[in-house]
Structure 1
Amino acid sequence: MGFEYTDTIVAIATLNIEKLVEFYTNLLGQEPITFIPNVYAEFKFNSWRLGIFQPQQTHESEFPHSDKNRISLCLEVSNLEEAIAHLTSIGFPPPGKIAIASHGKEIYAYDPDNNRIILHQAITSNN
């Protein structure tokens, strides 16, 4: 049966919180709804939230210090080429090419901490 939950938050741990907050502010075109410098920032979407936090000093040893992806944030977009152009304009062009799959087309991009962002455009009768 599971358990009840009231909200969904995707949380990204980082040691570069200011840089990530600036990146996601530019990417999403919105200011965080909550911002505590060097501690926490939160962006609100329709049915979920994105939280970015700096681990407390006592937990920094648990934080992965490699370039391995810690999360994959998938953003459904209506126009993949426009999304790629926007990422490029804020200094983070996707390194690869658009992939075509049965469910649509997508490309991988990366934030300043090298977390994967999957930009996906679903197949519709219009594209």
Structure 2
Amino acid sequence: MDFSCSSAFVTLAAIDLEKLVLFYGNLLGIKPRHYTPSYAEFQLPGLRLGIFRPKIHQPEFKNSSSAMSLCLEVSDLENAIAQLTDLGYPPPGEILTAAHGKEIYAYDPQGNRLILYQSSGK
């Protein structure tokens, strides 16, 4: 048996869809390429980000933080931190230095972990 995948993308469940769509639209500086009352989709370089309102089993999606993170490479980490702060979601910690560059952890309105990083260009 062969597992053949033609496409992959990340989705986030959101009971309050509008709030999360507004947050990501403002953070990313783009509008969703598809938006309905139950689903929105952003097209990023190399990634589609979907946000959906669950129709069933809503309790399992409330406050569901996990080990998964949405990593976003930015050209100016300080500017990205300022933008998150302006949106009302300042990163709670300090900038870290990793092998690939500088990074900081942040969280969206629903508590999903974001890792914003600026490559060291190595």
TM over 0.5: yes
Partner residue, 1:34: 34
Q: Give the residue type in structure 1 aligned to 2:83.
A: H
8 Å Cα contact 1:7-1:47 kept in structure 2: no
How do residues 35-114 of structure 1 correspond to structure 2 at under 5 angstroms?
Answer: 35-37=35-37, 39-56=38-55, 58-61=56-59, 63-66=60-63, 68-69=65-66, 71-114=68-111
SS at match of 2:104: strand
Partner residue, 2:13: 13
Please report how far the alpha carbon of residue 103 of structure 1 lies from its aligned counterpart in structure 2 after TM superposition: 1.9
How many percent of aligned residue pairs carry the same amino acid? 52
Do the aligned partners of residues 42 and 115 (structure 1) sit closer, same or farther apart at CA in structure 2, a change above 3 Å counting? same
User: Following the alignment from structure 1 to structure 2, what is the Cα–Cα distance between the partners of residues 103 and 47?
Assistant: 19
Please report how far the alpha carbon of residue 65 of structure 1 lies from its aligned counterpart in structure 2 after TM superposition: 3.0
User: Following the alignment from structure 1 to structure 2, what is the Cα–Cα distance between the partners of residues 89 and 2?
Assistant: 47
Q: Give the residue type in structure 1 aligned to 2:97.
A: I
Q: Give the residue type in structure 2 aligned to 1:59.
A: H
SS at match of 2:40: strand
SS at match of 1:85: helix
SS at match of 1:15: coil
TM-score (norm 1): 0.85
Equivalent residue pairs, number: 122
Do the aligned partners of residues 15 and 2 (structure 1) sit closer, same or farther apart at CA in structure 2, a change above 3 Å counting? same
CA RMSD of aligned residues (A): 1.9
Structure 1 unaligned residues grouped into runs of 5+: none
8 Å Cα contact 1:79-1:121 kept in structure 2: yes
User: Following the alignment from structure 1 to structure 2, what is the Cα–Cα distance between the partners of residues 65 and 78?
Assistant: 32
Please report how far the alpha carbon of residue 67 of structure 1 lies from its aligned counterpart in structure 2 after TM superposition: 5.6
